[in-house]
Amino acid sequence: MRAKTQYELTSTDTQTILALVRAGTLAEAAQRLGIDASTIFRSVQRIERGVGQRLFERSRAGYRPTPLGLQLARHAERIESELAAARSTVQTSSDHIAGAVHITTTDTVLYGLVLPALRDLAALHPALAVELSTTNSVASLTKRDADIAVRATRQPPDHLVGRHVGPLQIAVFAAKTRGLRVGDPETLARCDWVAPDGSLGNHPSVMWRKRHVPTVQPRYRTNSVMAVMEMMARDFGVGIFPVFLARGREDLVQLTPPLDEGESQLWVLAHPESRHLPHVSAVFAHLATRLAIELGAPAGA
């Protein structure tokens, strides 16, 4: 594939390439750009003919960028970031922070920590909008589907910038009505258990249970740690979830001290291309400070 003449890429071309790199499929790229998939298909063919090289490898799984496609996407990402920075500069010069910031986190951290931390954000920045989504993956941040991720991890991805805000502890709990007061392995092995399902097979609670009460086969499994907690509150069985979720809950009793082996760390993460934007930076700093207070650790610890 060779170009007969020098082809000049346009901003629309780079937006198309970036959307397809992030999406991986024609349908999702089209949805991101608000056009139909056939238009994306024809555009990619036209650009590849123009530059004389393939930008994507096609397969049943979708479109995977070639080294050149990935390089052009990085240029497009910098252009996108600079444009967003220019818009933010205009906003900042008018003495207010404005724009939309998309935060992704898990359901547990969202309800237990992020929502309380966001309560006074609207008063501080009335022109700021916040979008929230829950997922157990940081891939959406890598693809720039989100601006900020709040994640429990012992090792955040190297390609993201972030701030460690404190430890996340877990413990064994049960409904107060169950009448249990001690969580020794022998007692726990005789109980019905509520636990995360296979989609959360590496969750610290699962690893601890398999190591310390290996004979237990949970009677109830769910793909949500929040659901584990609510089922325990309704006395379906015993289980493990983060200690911060039990604050103020009079219907639950903690059966063990915090499980050291299951301790993780909470991080506020952002993509390096968007971390410096004023509206993203404002939310990032607010969350890092408030979450550190919630967890009893100094911000930046």
Render 230-273 in DSSP notation, one character per residue: HHHHTTS-BEEEEGGGGTT-TTEEE-SS--GGG-EEEEEEE-TT
DSSP character at residue 103: E
User: Block means of pLDDT (10 residues each) for the chain, length 301 residues?
Assistant: 70 90 89 89 92 91 90 82 64 66 91 90 87 75 77 79 88 92 86 92 90 94 92 94 90 93 89 80 89 69 45
User: What's the topology of domain 96-167+264-294?
Assistant: D-Maltodextrin-Binding Protein; domain 2 (3.40.190)
Return residue ranges of the chain for CATH 1.10.10.10.
11-77
* Predicted local confidence at residue 301, as pLDDT: 45
CA distance 228 to 239: 7
* Predicted local confidence at residue 299, as pLDDT: 44
- Phi/psi for 221 (5° steps) reads -130, 145
DSSP character at residue 218: -
CA distance 18 to 26: 12
* Predicted local confidence at residue 11, as pLDDT: 86
Return residue ranges of the chain for CATH 3.40.190.10.
96-167+264-294, 170-262
* Predicted local confidence at residue 293, as pLDDT: 85
* Predicted local confidence at residue 282, as pLDDT: 87
- Options 3.30.565.10, 1.10.287.1770, 3.40.50.150, 3.40.190.10; CATH for 170-262 is 3.40.190.10
11-77 is classed CATH 1.10.10.10: yes
